[in-house]
Amino acid sequence: MVFWHFLGIPNYLYYNFIKKNIIEASILAVLMSRSDVLLDSPQKKVILMGNEAIARGFLEGGLNVGASYPGTPSSEIMATLIMISSQHDIYVEWSVNEKVASEIAIAASLAGLRSMVSMKGVGVNVASEPFQAFTYMGAKGGIVLVSADDVGCHSSHTEQDNRFFAREAYIPVFEPFDPREAKDMAKSVLTLSEEWGQPVMLRITTRIAHTSADITLGELPKEKRKGKFEKMPNRWVNLPKNARKLRLELIKRLKRIQKAVNSLNFNRIEGEDSAKYGIITSGIAYGYVKEALNVLGISDNVKLLKIGTSYPIPNELVENVLSSSEKVLVVEELEPFVETEVRAQANKMGISIPIFGKELIPLAGELSVFKVVEAVSKFTETQLPIDITKILDVQEKAGQLAPPRPPVLCPGCGHRAVFYALRIVERKFKKGEEKSEGFVKPTDIGCYTLGFQSPLSAVDVNFCMGASIGISSGFSKVIDDPVVCTIGDSTFFHAGIPPLLNSVFNKADITVLILDNRTTAMTGFQPHPGVGVNACGEECSAISIEEVAKACGVKFVKTVDTYNIKELVDAIKDGIAHKGPAVIISQGLCKMLDVKAKRGTSEIPCVKIDYELCKDCRICIDRFGCPAMYIRDDQVDIDTTLCNGCGVCLQKEVCAKGAIGFEGE
C-alpha cells in the first residue's frame, strides 16, 4: 500500500455528495477523536500529537486566520485547526498552493490579525517570494510560518534545512525539541511576532510533528479581534524606493530581536560554570543530548546550552559557554547552521578553543540517542558503558534480513491503470520504431510518483510540484522521442497551469496525463478546487480541469475513465499523434475513498482466478503488479483482504484469456 506517514493519525470525517451522477468524495481532515484540543481547561493534561499540540498552541495564542497547502509532515496542523475553527471563530483554508496560503496569512497580518501558514519543508520554496518582500515591510498582527522539515526524507525528496532561507530573509527561527515545547512556542511566537513587528518561523521536523506527548493545556483567549487595514503606501507598496528605506528598518528590528532572544525561556544554560566541556544544541537534538549525558553519567561535567531560537542565536548565552569551556561541541540535525554561528561568535570574541560539530555529528539523516552518545563520548573522551558499534552492527544486519517493503500504489488505484496503459502504448511504439528508446515519461509529486516502482516502471524524471509539464516542454525542444508526462489533479491546480500555458505559448509537442482521482490523496485526502467542497465542508464551485486546459489554449483535450484501459490506450495514442500540447484527463474516484464510502456494504466485489482458463503467463503480476496479487504454490493468487474490486485486471489488456472474474459470477 501507499507508504503513509500519518503515525497515530485518527479517523477522518468524510464528506460525500452526488453531482452529475459522479460521487465526488473529499476527506475533510477533521480529527474527530481529538476533541481534547477544544478543551478550555487550563492545567489539564491531554495526549496530543505534535502537530495537534501546535494547533492548540496557536489557539491559545489568539490565532485569527490559518492557511496551508497539505503536505506531510505538516498536514495535521491545519486539519486540527479546521476541526476547531467554527467553535473559535477563526478563518481557515486549504489554499491552492503555499504561495497563496502565505499571501492569505500575510493579508491577515496587514489587517492587524494573528495568522499562521503551515507547509512541508519544500513548500517554503513556493512560499519564499511573498515572505521575502513581507519581511521588509514587517508584521502588524503576529504571523508565523510553520516549516515542517523532513529530516531523513521520510516523505520528501530532499532534506531541506529552511533555517538558511529564514536567515537570508531575516525571519527569526524557533525550534522546539518536543511536542510540549512546540505547543508553548506556537503560543508565544504569535505574541513575539507582533511585539517585534516581524514574521517568525516555527521550524519542526517529522519526528516532532508525529510524536505524541502529554500536553498541559493553557487558557483560551476570550478576546475576538476584527481586522482593519490601515493604508500606509510607503510601507505596504513594494517599490524600490520604499524597499531601500524599509531594509534599514528591517536591520534595526533584527538587532532588537537579537538582544531579546537572550532572555527567552526557550534558550537556557544548564550545568555549572566549572564544567570542563560545553555542548550547544538546538531543536530535537537537545533531547538526544540529555539522554546521552545520562547514559554516560557526565551531566555534572558539561555546561549545556539549549537553543530554542536558532536564528538569531542567543549570542550572550553562546559567549557564556565559549568563555567558560575548554572545548565545545555543537549538536544539531542536518546542516551546520548553529555551528557556523557559534564559530563566528568565537571568532568575533577572539576565543580560540576547539569547536566540534559535523566532524562528530552526521550531516545527513535523523539523529538518534546512539549516534549522539557515540559523538559525546568521543568529544569528552568518556568510555562507552556499552558497545554501541556492536549494537548498530546487529541493527544493520537485522535490517538486511527483513524483506524489502518499498512504497507502492494501493490495490485498485486508478493510477496503476494509467501507467499500465502508457507502457502498453510505449512497447508498441518501440516495436515500430527500432531506433527509439521509447517515451520520455516525467512525473510530478504525489501518489503517482510511485509509478516509478517495478513492474510499472513508468517514471523517468521527477523534480517538484508542477515540473513534469515544464520539464516535458523542455524535452520536446531538444529530443526526438515522444514526451508523455503525468501530474495529479491537486498538483495541477497547485503548479501545473503556468507550465501548461507555457507549452501552448511555445508550441511544445507533449502529451499531458492529468490523473484526476478527485482528492489530494497522498497527504490525507484534502479537498482541492476541482472537487466542489472547501476545507470546512462548504459546497463551492468545482473547477473543471477540462475547461481550464481548454482556456489555456490546448486544442486536444479528452476526459477518459481512469479504470478503462482501452479508453486510456486509445486516448494516449491520439494524444501522441496530435501535433502540439495534448491533455488527457483520466478521471476516477480514488479507490480508497470509494471503499471507505462502501464499507459495510456488499458493493465491493472481490476477484478470483479461474485456473482452468489461466495459462500462467503472469502478465497480471509481472506487468500490472497489483499488490493484491501474489504467488502461492507456484501460481498467481489474489488476496481478498487487499482486493478493492476495481475490476481493471478483468480487462483483456491484463488477462487476455479472461481467467480473472468477480466472485459469484
Q: pLDDT tens digits, residue range 552-576?
A: 999 999 999 999 999 999 999 999 9
* Cβ–Cβ under 8 Å, residues 25 and 589: yes
Residue 635 has pLDDT above 70, yes or no: yes
Q: For position 184, what pLDDT does the model report?
A: 96
Q: Which pLDDT score is estimated for 434?
A: 58
3-state secondary structure at position 99: helix
Q: What is the dihedral of CA 592, 594, 598, 603, to 10 degrees?
A: -110
Between 462 and 248, where is the model more confident? Answer: 248
- The DSSP output letter for 409 is P
- Phi/psi of residue 317, nearest 5 degrees: -70, -40
Domains of the chain: 11-39+406-602 (3.40.50.970), 41-261 (3.40.50.970), 269-401 (3.40.50.920), 605-665 (3.30.70.20)
User: How confident is the model over 55-74, as pLDDT tens digits?
Assistant: 999 999 999 999 999 989 99
* Residue bearing the bigger pLDDT, 391 or 499: 499
Q: What is the pLDDT of residue 247?
A: 93
Q: What percent of the chain has pLDDT over 70?
A: 93
Residue 466's pLDDT is 82
Instruction: Assess contact for 568 and 421: CB atoms under 8 A.
Output: yes
The C-alpha cell of 528 is what? Answer: 482541492
Range from 37-51, 318-332, 575-589 carrying the lowest mean pLDDT? 37-51
Most confidently modeled range among 38-52, 135-149, 581-595: 135-149
Q: Contact, 81 vs 90, CB < 8 A?
A: yes
Cell numbers found for residue 454: 517495478
Q: What residues contact residue 236 under an 8 Å CB cut-off, 6+ apart?
A: 110, 137
pLDDT tier at 167, thresholds 50, 70, 90: very high
- Evaluate if residue 9 carries a pLDDT over 60: no
User: Cell for 251?
Assistant: 536591520
Distance in angstroms (rounded) separating the CA atoms of residues 96 and 80: 19
